[in-house]
């Protein structure tokens, strides 16, 4: 898994590449933790190159979301493919979190 951080206009954009599972989730959690304690942080998580995520990955995002929100910040998840979208929907997180679904190459998914 690779995690790139780009900062522009006071928004931190994390580009996550690879699979998020029990093996890689601790690294993701560690990288994100550096941003969660900043007051009013605006964060975008790009998952367009994440092909697989399990419940461990969901747990990382839930914890991160709660920590950022508690400090008055905002987390937006972008580039979510149909498989990940379904995972967020099943857990009810799609109703709580700001999630933008990737539309390219996914003509069967409804947004």
Rounded to two decimals, the pTM is 0.87
Tokens standing for residue 31: 């990288």
pLDDT at 108 over 70: no
Dihedrals φ, ψ of 84, to 5°?
Answer: -70, -35
Domains of the chain: 2-101 (3.30.750.24)
Q: Sorting pLDDT into bands at 50, 70 and 90, what band is 65?
A: very high
Indicate the SS3 state at residue 107. Answer: coil
pLDDT digits (tens, 9 = 90+) for 24-63: 999 999 999 988 888 899 999 999 999 999 999 999 999 9
- In this structure, which long-range contacts are made by residues 25-29, counting pairs with CB atoms below 8 Å and at least 24 apart in sequence? 25/56, 25/57, 25/59, 25/60, 27/1, 27/3, 28/1, 28/3, 28/57, 28/60, 29/60, 29/63, 29/64
């Amino acid at each position: 898994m690779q995690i790139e951080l780009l900062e522009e206009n006071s928004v931190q954009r994390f580009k996550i590449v690879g699979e998020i599972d029990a093996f890689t989730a601790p690294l993701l959690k560690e990288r994100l933790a550096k941003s969660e304690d900043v007051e009013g942080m605006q964060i975008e998580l790009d998952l367009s190159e994440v092909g697989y995520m399990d419940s461990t990955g969901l747990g990382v995002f839930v914890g991160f979301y709660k920590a950022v929100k508690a400090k008055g910040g905002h987390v937006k998840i972008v580039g979510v493919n149909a498989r990940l979208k379904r995972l967020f929907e099943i857990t009810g997180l799609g109703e709580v979190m700001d999630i933008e679904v990737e539309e390219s190459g996914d003509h069967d998914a409804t947004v």
